[in-house]
Chains A and B, each alone.
Chain A
């Protein structure tokens, strides 16, 4: 059972480049989300989805796009990378019911130069 799979693990971009962080889960979870981790800031929610075709903004959505065409996949797109998006990104998923925990991917360390 693979759980939540994130790719890539590391990425270096130049300012203005675009890229997609991939996230896939094989647990048939309805809820998927993206967080960023910055020193001293805790985990901050970027976007989340409560099911295929449904997405919503989190706390820090600017500069990021998401879509949820299937239950399994929830990619995060950076359309024009900025140095402020240098961070560690985590994808997480859950069954989405009130007493269900989050399962996290292994993280993507992104540097924007």
Chain B
């Protein structure tokens, strides 16, 4: 069983603050790293999928970086808005095929107006 660790477990910020979360994963035999946003009463939705060391992805105010050699990924939100409130999940797979995608427990973000 792979350990995918996310920190912090929860985060409260004020509207307009910038914030970031961390996802740590085993660095050996890396295949892909995913980030998902999960809003209450909805299904998880993909933000990014990254496969190469040094990858940087951006979607509006949200961006992510990947370091496969040391086994971590950062998710950044610039100028948080109340609608950014959600659980942010990362997931990791290793090996030569898509196979088993292991999720972390998530970071719960609450943005206060």
Give residues of chain A (23-53) contacting chain B, Cβ–Cβ below 8 Å. 31, 33, 35, 40-45, 48, 50
Q: Whose C-beta in chain A lies nearest to the C-beta of B44? A: A104
Q: Whose C-beta in chain B lies nearest to the C-beta of A100? A: B49
Q: Whose C-beta in chain B lies nearest to the C-beta of A105? A: B43
Q: Whose C-beta in chain B lies nearest to the C-beta of A90? A: B43
Q: Which of B31, B51, B89 contacts A43 (CB 8 A)?
A: B89
**B31 and A101 form a contact (CB under 8 A):** no
Contact A50:B51 (CB < 8 A) given known A42-B106, A104-B43:
no
Say which size band chain B's interface belongs to. 20 to 34
Contact A58:B100 (CB < 8 A) given known A98-B32, A104-B43:
yes
Q: Which of B31, B45, B103 contacts A44 (CB 8 A)?
A: B103
A40 to B49 CA separation, bound complex (whole angstroms): 24
Can you show 29 pairs from A to B with CB atoms below 8 A apart? Answer: A33-B101, A41-B105, A42-B89, A42-B105, A42-B106, A43-B89, A43-B103, A45-B101, A48-B99, A48-B100, A50-B99, A56-B99, A56-B100, A58-B100, A59-B100, A59-B102, A90-B43, A96-B97, A98-B31, A99-B51, A100-B49, A100-B98, A101-B34, A101-B49, A102-B44, A103-B46, A104-B45, A105-B43, A106-B43
